[in-house]
Amino acid sequence: MATGTLVIGKREFVWGARTYLMAIINMTPDSFSGDGLDLDLDAAVEQALRFEAEGADILDIGGESTRPGGAETTADEEIRRVLPVIERLAARTGTPVSIDTSKAAVAKAALAAGAHLVNDVWGLRHDAAMASVVAHSGAPAVIMHNQRGRAFHDVIGDVRAGLEESIALAEAAGVERDRLIVDPGFGFGWTVEQNLEMLRRLSELTTMGLPLLVGTSRKSTIGAVLDVPVEERLPGTAATVALAIAGGADIVRVHDVAAMRQVCRMADAVVRGPAAG
């Protein structure tokens, strides 16, 4: 299980003390969850500040939908969507801002604009320059295992192998291991049954010794199990978040901050002790 600390922006994250909340802010017109804000800067800033007030520890800004079958966005368009939000938030909040991108050019521009963390759903493997951008910035990074297009052998074995590849890329570029956060990639190239197995076996990944981020919020596996549309997936999300915390998650990435803050507090009180909750 992860121990130690990591400074993101001006805040220190103490692994094991409690579960941290990463809030999702989608600057896209086609988010799977129906919360895409497109280019509405005022709405995005208002949402981010509300999330901060509700207990978000990181504000994750994304300019490209990662839903299955989604069209790839150009780097220029992605930058046009996210930079104004990052610049505005950097001036108005002390909460760390994350850039959700797999493109080195976007990450570089976002970090220069005030972002503090890179969240790459392709684990530095989509853009050969990404590891170098992270290394030279000094910022930490979330590296996710993405199963799309990869042969399946075993859920946890495949996740671990993919994450080790990404860690190797990061370290070869000069990114220290203790600047990395790992994400097993719930919903990225897995069947419903495989996603459930991932969550069931999540604790097996804690032996990697790195902080673990899990993002299950509103995803299609919840819809498939409960037979509900995306707008009715809050209870299912709550269940998966609580189980992720029990399995060792250090950060959960969510759409519904206020509700999930309560879930985290209750789960932490059970898993880590009342002081953490």
pLDDT at 129: 98
pLDDT at 277: 67
Among candidate residues 29, 19, 97, the one with its CA nearest the CA of residue 266 = 19
Q: How many CB atoms lie within 10 A of CB 266?
A: 14
pLDDT at 113: 97
Among candidate residues 266, 272, 276, the one with its CA nearest the CA of residue 1 = 272
CA 77 to CA 24: how far, in whole Å?
A: 19
| Residues facing 143 on adjacent strands | 120, 182
What is the gyration radius of the CA atoms in the chain, in angstroms? 17
pLDDT at 40: 79
- What are the structure tokens assigned to 70, written together? 């989604």
pLDDT at 70: 66
Q: How far is CA 227 from CA 219, 231, 233, in A?
A: 12, 12, 9
- What are the structure tokens assigned to 117, written together? 């963390």
Question: What is the value of pTM for the model shown?
Answer: 0.94
Domain boundaries, the chain: 5-270
What is the CA 73 to chain-centroid distance, rounded? 19
For domain 5-270, the CATH class is: alpha beta
Widest Cα–Cα separation across the chain? 47
| Residues facing 180 on adjacent strands | 141
CA 81 to CA 83: how far, in whole Å?
A: 6
- What are the structure tokens assigned to 128, written together? 């050969």
pLDDT at 276: 83
- The amino acid present at 48, given as its one-letter code, is A
pLDDT at 50: 96
pLDDT at 7: 97
CA 217 to CA 251: how far, in whole Å?
A: 12
CA 109 to CA 105: how far, in whole Å?
A: 6
Element at 73 (helix H, strand E): none
Per-residue pLDDT tens for 105-159? Answer: 999 999 999 999 999 999 999 999 999 999 999 999 999 999 999 999 999 999 9
Residue 235: phi and psi, rounded to 5, are -60, -40
Q: What amino acid positions are annotated as catalytic residues?
A: 219, 253
DSSP state of 64: S
Can you list the residues of the chain whose pLDDT is less than 50? 32-34
Among candidate residues 247, 90, 227, 264, the one with its CA nearest the CA of residue 155 = 247
Per-residue pLDDT tens for 155-176? Answer: 999 999 999 999 999 999 999 9
CA 61 to CA 233: how far, in whole Å?
A: 22
| Residues facing 240 on adjacent strands | none
